[in-house]
Amino acid sequence: MMKDDAQTPLLRVRGLTKTYGGRIGCADISFDLWPGEVLGVVGESGSGKSTLLGALAGHLAPDRGEVIFDTRAEGPRDTVTMSEPERRMLARTDWAFVHQNPRDGLRMNVSAGGNVGERLMAVGARHYGNIRATATDWLGRVEIDPARIDDRPQAFSGGMQQRLQIARNLVTGPRLVFMDEPTGGLDVSVQARLLDLLRGLVRDMGLSAIVVTHDLAVVRLLADRLMVMKSGRVVEAGLTDQVLDDPQHAYTQLLVSSVLQV
């Protein structure tokens, strides 16, 4: 699918702030995400990137700020102030969330097919044969042997579990995917395969994504744009390769120069 030249950002974030008591989780975050764009958010542990992702995805209630999503039906809506049922509906239709640990994003006691089918059933699919056919198709797309459709995720490797989580999330054709360290905890070779898969899916489905990671190699390959966070604030943002190759902020320079070259 061609990245379109939409006039409206898919997501507009303004002044998003989340504190824990007196401590800053993330502060005054503002950015636009356009259809088809992948935004990387990098920073070290505790920099607020996971808090930001949680606040964007509606898992954490922000103290201040707007998260305006361009909904299919009604155009731009602030998801912070919309009702919980609406937000949850969004979360299982137009949004997807890929957790770092597949155990947090999968039902471990439900078969692979059931895991993929759940979102379909949640939006009203009631034909077993169709649900199963869609699940089979998606297992193939994430390179899991469809013969394993009735196996539970416990029997899968870490990389397979992560791919299953991705299939489960993308089956309803979301437009915005939140990813929290999607390749964390995986072997390097498995990471590469997953990155390739994600890139292909993002391109073919025209997805927008926000990827939180501390791995600069991951964002270089996956993200169009980058935000660098430190102590809950964005210190630098721009084109991914520009930020990595010509970092302007002292912290980004330190971050980039700290990476071991291979």
Partner 1 sequence: MIEIENLSKSFTLHNQGGAVLEVMQGAGLTVAPGECVALIGNSGAGKSTLMRMIYGNYLAEVGHIRIGGVDVVGAEPREILKLRREVLGYVSQFLRVVPRVPTREVVAEPLLALGRERGEALARAEALLARLNIPERLWELSPTTFSGGEQQRVNIARGFVRDWPALLLDEPTASLDPTNREVVLKLIEEAKARGAAIIGIFHDAEARARVADREIDVSAFAPAAA
Partner 2 sequence: MNDYNFAYLDEQTKRMIRRAILKGLAIPGYQVPFASREMPMPYGWGTGGVQVSAAILTPGDTFKVIDQGADDTTNAVSIRKFFERTAGVATTEHTGEATVIQTRHRIPETPLTEDQILVFQVPIPEPLRFLEPRESETRKMHSLEEYGLMHVKLYEDISRHGHIATSYAYPVRVEGRYVMDPSPIPKFDNPKLDRSPAIQLFGAGREQRIYAIPPYTRVVSLDFEDHPFEASKADHPCDLCGAEDSYLDEVIIDDAGNRMFVCSDSDYCASRQAQGHRGRLSPEVA
Interacting residues toward partner 1 by CB under 8 A:
1-3, 5, 34, 37, 189, 192-193, 195-196, 199, 203, 220-221, 224-225, 238-239, 241-242, 245-246, 248-250, 253-254, 257
What count of other Cβ atoms lies within 10 Å of the Cβ of residue 37? Answer: 19
Q: Choosing among partner 1, partner 2, none, which partner's interface includes residue 23 (Cβ < 5 to 8 Å by kind)?
A: none
Does 102 bind partner 2 (CB under 8 A)? Our answer is no
CA distance 58 to 87: 7
H/E stretch holding 230: strand 225-230
What count of other Cβ atoms lies within 10 Å of the Cβ of residue 111? Answer: 17
Q: Where are the beta strands (DSSP E) in 72-188?
A: 75-78, 95-98, 176-180
Cβ closest to partner 1, residue 132 vs residue 225: 225
Does 74 bind partner 2 (CB under 8 A)? Our answer is no
Cβ closest to partner 1, residue 104 vs residue 245: 245
Which tokens belong to 206? Answer: 């025209």
Does 117 bind partner 2 (CB under 8 A)? Our answer is yes
* Closest residue by Cα to residue 78 from 88, 86, 87, 66: 66
Return phi, psi of residue 79, to 5°: -75, -15
Helical axes 128-141 vs 112-122, angle rounded to 10°: 120
Q: Choosing among partner 2, partner 1, none, which partner's interface includes residue 109 (Cβ < 5 to 8 Å by kind)?
A: partner 2
**Candidates 49-57, 69-77, 104-112, 203-211; binding stretch for partner 2 (CB under 8 A):** 104-112
Binding stretches for partner 2 (CB under 8 A): 84-85, 88, 92, 107, 109-111, 113-114, 117-123, 126-129, 131-132, 149-150
